[in-house]
């Protein structure tokens, strides 16, 4: 008697489910909101690994200590043997997973794997399934990538780019095919980028040969029109220029990152935001040679919290109004952040001759340690007028609140409110205490053309009413 293959499989599955020796209670379920990593501190004398990365802040093998939903790890492989439901889930996960190695990626850090990554992405993006699709960059390997654009839209509503291993950039400037962006995601909806791996921009060769303002250097990771994307649990370091750029995105969430570059590396911002709204950045450690986070024109409803910043240039609004441009930023909340050894703390910077506004901004629960310029509004940023600029104009700064702020400044100047001719209005200082780190020195505030109120402020801010 001939029995069809379908009938055989059906009988096998029924027998497995009915077996009394197998229980679903043995499965390990990892929650979607996996705990964020505590990266620790980075100091000048911190020991580094062969990639120049802090061992103290990011020890070797940390990513393997975290359990993920990767159906190929040993835990799940063991679970499959004892649980038919887990077997079925694993089979389904494998059909929705695209490993770059299966598309020809070598992962030795020497062979260019860009083509293999694009082929894996193309296959995943075109897949007709409506389930979550995952592109896997496996751990234990270093994948060399040249400039690459992962473009959408994809068929699936959710796409996961899981970086478990390391991705490295070319260390020869001449080998780069695009000197504006390195890794770009464009028009991909439902995107998650995570996995516990590393992204190394090999920026040192750029800083040495091309460190000036007029020299074009690539951004490491760029997101354009990727609404609702999530970026988490990664280390991104040594970008040639800014590490992460978020442009024209609505509703992204960024958390659990370690972003690192030497404090003297030029223009290596941690995260730059522009033309985006409803952005959340939280629970990350950023240590670079420029702004930890910069919020540029066209951005609104930005929430930043639980950030360790330093070294670097602090968290900045702007610069705005460059070359007479119209700029706007509003509804920004920065809370529960720590600044250590930064050249600035919380800063608003605008150019003379620009126009527009920066308004409805709150800095709350901020701690400074040995920070230069802890609180600063600078409306004379890089004032280099041209004949086409109307120097009587300025970006209007208003409704800025500093609340529950404490710590120390590197010298005596704790607060600077240097406002342009139009003045800054409704500036509020509420329970602010910043003392000087210098022995026997008292901190002070400088203000020009700023208007608002101050209560329980040390130092006293003379231009604000008490």
Q: What is the pTM of this model?
A: 0.82
Residues 6 or more apart in contact with residue 50 via CB below 8 angstroms: none
CA atoms lying within 13 Å on the CB side of residue 193 = 23
CB distance 398 to 357 below 8 Å: yes
Q: Which of 222, 243, 285, 313 is catalytic?
A: 313
Question: Residue 94 region, left (φ>0) first, then alpha (ψ -120 to 50), else beta?
Answer: alpha
pLDDT in tens, the chain (466 residues): 444 544 443 433 334 334 333 332 222 222 233 233 333 333 333 444 444 444 444 444 433 333 333 333 333 444 445 566 665 455 455 569 999 999 999 999 999 999 999 999 999 999 988 789 999 999 999 999 999 999 999 999 999 999 999 999 999 999 999 999 999 999 999 999 999 999 999 999 999 988 666 788 999 999 999 999 999 999 999 999 999 999 999 999 999 999 999 999 999 999 999 999 999 999 999 999 999 999 999 999 999 999 999 999 999 999 999 988 999 999 999 999 999 999 999 999 999 889 999 999 999 999 999 999 999 999 988 756 665 566 678 999 999 999 999 999 999 999 999 999 889 999 999 999 999 999 999 999 999 999 999 999 999 999 998 7
CB distance 113 to 107 below 8 Å: yes
Report the DSSP pairing between strands 253-260 and 219-224: unpaired
Backbone angles phi, psi at 305, to 5 degrees: -150, 155
Neighbours of 4 (CB within 10 A): 8
Q: Given the structure tokens 């002070």, which residue do they identify? A: 444
CA atoms lying within 13 Å on the CB side of residue 264 = 3
C-alpha dist (Å) from residue 107 to 111, 112, 164, 203, 403:
7, 9, 12, 20, 49
CA atoms lying within 13 Å on the CB side of residue 218 = 29
Whether residue 243 lies in the annotated active site = no
The angle at the Cα of 369, spanning 365 to 374, to the nearest 5 degrees, equals: 70
Residues 6 or more apart in contact with residue 45 via CB below 8 angstroms: none
CB distance 223 to 200 below 8 Å: no
C-alpha dist (Å) from residue 406 to 48, 362, 386:
32, 15, 40
Burial class (CB in 10 A: 0-12, 13-18, 19+), 362: middle
């Amino acid at each position: 008697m001939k029995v069809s293959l379908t009938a055989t499989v059906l009988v096998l599955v029924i027998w497995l489910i009915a077996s009394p020796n197998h229980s679903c209670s043995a499965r390990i379920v990892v929650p979607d909101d996996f705990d964020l990593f505590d990266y620790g501190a980075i100091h000048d004398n911190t020991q580094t690994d062969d990639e120049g990365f802090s061992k103290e802040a990011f020890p070797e093998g940390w990513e393997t200590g975290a359990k993920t939903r990767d159906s190929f790890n040993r835990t799940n492989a063991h679970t499959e043997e004892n649980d038919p439901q887990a077997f079925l889930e694993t089979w389904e996960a494998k059909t929705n997973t695209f490993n770059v190695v299966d598309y020809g990626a070598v992962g030795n850090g020497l062979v260019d794997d860009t083509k293999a990554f694009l082929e894996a992405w193309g296959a995943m993006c075109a897949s007709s399934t409506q389930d979550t699709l995952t592109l896997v960059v496996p751990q234990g390997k270093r994948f060399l990538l040249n400039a690459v654009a992962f473009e959408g839209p994809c068929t699936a509503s959710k796409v996961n780019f899981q970086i478990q291993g390391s991705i490295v950039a070319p260390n020869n400037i001449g080998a780069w095919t695009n000197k504006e962006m390195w890794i770009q995601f464009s028009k991909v909806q439902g995107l998650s980028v995570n996995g516990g791996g590393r992204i190394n921009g090999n920026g040192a060769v750029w800083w040495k040969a091309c460190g000036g303002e007029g020299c074009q250097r690539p951004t490491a990771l760029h997101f354009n029109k990727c609404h609702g994307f999530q970026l988490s649990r990664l280390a991104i370091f040594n970008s040639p220029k800014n590490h992460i750029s978020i442009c024209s995105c609505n509703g992204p969430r960024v958390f659990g990152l370690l972003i690192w570059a030497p404090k003297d590396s030029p223009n290596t911002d941690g995260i730059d935001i522009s033309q985006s709204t409803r952005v959340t950045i939280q629970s990350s450690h950023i240590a670079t040679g420029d702004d930890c986070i910069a919020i540029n024109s066209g951005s609104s409803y930005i929430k930043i919290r639980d950030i360790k910043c330093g070294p670097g240039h602090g968290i900045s609004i702007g610069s705005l109004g460059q070359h007479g441009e119209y700029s706007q930023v509003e509804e920004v909340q920065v809370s529960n952040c720590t600044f250590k050894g930064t050249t600035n703390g919380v800063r608003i910077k605008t150019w003379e001759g620009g126009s527009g506004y920066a308004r409805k901004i709150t800095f709350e629960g901020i701690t400074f340690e040995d920070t230069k310029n802890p609180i600063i509004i600078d409306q004379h940023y890089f004032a280099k007028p041209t004949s086409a600029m109307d120097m009587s104009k300025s970006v209007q700064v208003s409704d800025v609140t500093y609340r529950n702020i404490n710590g120390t400044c590197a010298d005596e100047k704790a607060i600077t409110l240097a406002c342009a001719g139009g003045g800054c209005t409704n500036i509020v200082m509420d329970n602010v205490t910043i003392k000087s780190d210098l022995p026997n020195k008292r901190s002070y505030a400088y203000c020009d053309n700023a208007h608002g109120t101050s209560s329980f402020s040390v130092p006293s801010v003379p231009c604000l009413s008490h």
